[in-house]
């Protein structure tokens, strides 16, 4: 069926290449990075600076190879950054300056 149907790469229901993959049921403790990204997303949402749909659009726009390579919250920070740039909340110049200052 997958052959006949165009699927965006985040649309994983029934996708055959994962059907034989075992599920990693081990608990994975969230890192400080994870918690911080999660919290920033919530604060931005509460301030009406980003919606769930914008977050999803940003995640779904990540190229397939990166999508599967990045961790869950690594996708989120990429989407958050993308959305802050699109909305003009931050500029590329400001971000580059902050990255250079690290």
- The site for another protein (CB under 8 A) is made up of 10-19, 21-28, 30, 33, 35-40, 42-47, 49, 52-53, 56, 59, 66, 68, 70-74, 77-78, 80-82, 84-85, 89-90, 92, 94-96, 98-99, 101-102
- Cα 47 to chain centroid, rounded: 20
**Cβ closest to another protein, residue 5 vs residue 101:** 101
Largest Cα–Cα separation, the chain: 50
For residue 19, the minimal CB distance to another protein (Å) is: 6
What region does 55 belong to: left with phi over 0, alpha with psi -120 to 50, or beta? Answer: alpha
């Amino acid at each position: 069926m997958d052959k006949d149907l165009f699927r965006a790469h985040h649309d994983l229901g029934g996708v055959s290449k994962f059907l034989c993959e075992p599920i990693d049921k081990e608990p994975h403790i969230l890192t400080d990075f994870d918690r911080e990204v999660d919290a920033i997303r919530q604060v931005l949402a509460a301030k009406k600076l980003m919606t769930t749909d914008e977050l999803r659009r940003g995640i779904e726009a990540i190229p397939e190879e990166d999508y599967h390579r990045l961790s869950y919250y690594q996708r989120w920070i990429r989407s958050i950054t993308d959305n802050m740039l699109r909305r003009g909340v931050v500029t590329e110049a400001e971000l580059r300056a902050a990255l250079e200052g690290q």
